Amino acid sequence: MSAKRETILSGIRPTGRLHYGNYFGAVRHFLRLQEEDKATCYYFIADYHALTTVTDRQDLYGNTVEMLRTYVACGLDPRKSVIYRQSDLPCTAELSLLLGMITNIGLLERGTTYKDKLSKLREDPKAEGNPLSYGLLGYPVLMAADILIVKADIVPVGEDQRQHLEMAIDLATRFNSRFGETFHVPRPISRDALRLPGLDGASKMGKSDHNTLDLLDDPATVLKKIKAVPTTTEPAPLDTDSNDADTVVPKMPSGVGVLYRLLDLLAPREVFLEFLEEYRRGGKFYGNLKKAAAEHCSKFNEPIIARYNDPANSAAAVEEFLRENARRVTPVALETVEAVRAAMGIGHSLYRA
């Protein structure tokens, strides 16, 4: 008899356009898991979570749809993976409330996202963004609800989310020992830790840092952004004979490093090696390097932009698969919440009967 097919869960915040850091740090892994087809992949757009950072009145629903069109353009397939919107499972909010009843505030105060925000506000009380909200403090509880409600088996996370995932596992385990076996406890797996530097030479490309190269950037925008990457005329010696990008890129000035990293990710190996030779020889090659990097990035973006604009990938098509996938995940989510209600002594919801 074959073992039960496992489920993998990942959440995505609908906070804007997708950039190369998102693609090579996350989306590329989603695509690999989808194609391996060893487990069912659940991807949800975390619109409740986004409310802790949205500052102006924003069209969150519109952002969600645009972001989903980009994911589909990258190759995420709503027929192969289950892609849904967090708020289409409103019982997640109920589960979060119930879990909150047994969550210690001390634990939440040690949450990294909360602590980061707190220290930013201490440095600058007028800092941009929302105040320290109840929602932000409770973020790990809502994240636990997201994971537990669909009975996920595997949750791949980057380093930034590792602590929150451990809190979710801990909450589920404590719940089970206090109220009886109710939750399916997931296991974490780490994603490879590629971190793409920003186009401004900062150590990380990120939306909030406005230093991104985006998947929907047209060739003129790509060229303009790449031309503006800071490069020094005197490259530092590499002190190594290695031709491995993971070894050489960190030894380069950061602006130069990001250009080599882009070639490493997108260009044929011989192109990367040719430019590495140039680097070792010294001389004036940055103009050509930038031109080559821009060409490969534009070539990479071209099919994504075309699929983004494909009429089959319209907002209406996204709404259709959101509706269908919400219907697919709702039964398992309701089953979980009903089990938790029963375990805690609340009983069946007449509203849902």
Catalytic residues: 117, 204, 207
Q: Contact with ligand ATP (CB under 6 A): which of 104, 173, 190, 208?
A: 208
Say how far apart CA 76 and CA 42 lie, in whole Å.
Answer: 11
Residue 73 φ/ψ, nearest 5 degrees: -60, -30
- Based on the shown chain and the rule CB under 6 A, indicate whether residue 15 belongs to the binding site for ligand ATP: yes
Say how far apart CA 111 and CA 247 lie, in whole Å.
Answer: 33
Give the end-to-end CA distance of the chain in Å, rounded to a whole number: 35
- Based on the shown chain and the rule CB under 6 A, indicate whether residue 26 belongs to the binding site for ligand ATP: yes
- List the structure tokens of 106: 């001390």
Neighbouring residues of 181: CB distance < 8 A, sequence distance ≥ 6: none
- Based on the shown chain and the rule CB under 6 A, indicate whether residue 11 belongs to the binding site for ligand ATP: no
Stretch that binds ligand ATP, among 23-31, 134-142, 284-292, 329-337 (CB under 6 A): 23-31
- Based on the shown chain and the rule CB under 6 A, indicate whether residue 201 belongs to the binding site for ligand ATP: no
Q: Contact with ligand ATP (CB under 6 A): which of 135, 158, 201, 253?
A: 158
Stretch that binds ligand ATP, among 18-26, 40-48, 118-126, 333-341 (CB under 6 A): 18-26
Say how far apart CA 75 and CA 53 lie, in whole Å.
Answer: 28
Task: Specify the 3-state DSSP secondary structure of 190.
Answer: strand
- List the structure tokens of 105: 């505030």
Residue 70 φ/ψ, nearest 5 degrees: -70, -40
Say how far apart CA 172 and CA 194 lie, in whole Å.
Answer: 30
Stretch that binds ligand ATP, among 89-97, 100-108, 192-200, 341-349 (CB under 6 A): 192-200
- Based on the shown chain and the rule CB under 6 A, indicate whether residue 205 belongs to the binding site for ligand ATP: yes
Residue 344 φ/ψ, nearest 5 degrees: -90, -5
- Based on the shown chain and the rule CB under 6 A, indicate whether residue 140 belongs to the binding site for ligand ATP: no
Stretch that binds ligand ATP, among 14-22, 130-138, 139-147, 338-346 (CB under 6 A): 14-22
Q: Contact with ligand ATP (CB under 6 A): which of 195, 210, 291, 328?
A: 195
Q: Summarize as ranges the residues that interact with ligand ATP (CB under 6 A).
A: 13, 15, 21-22, 24-26, 158, 160, 194-196, 204-208
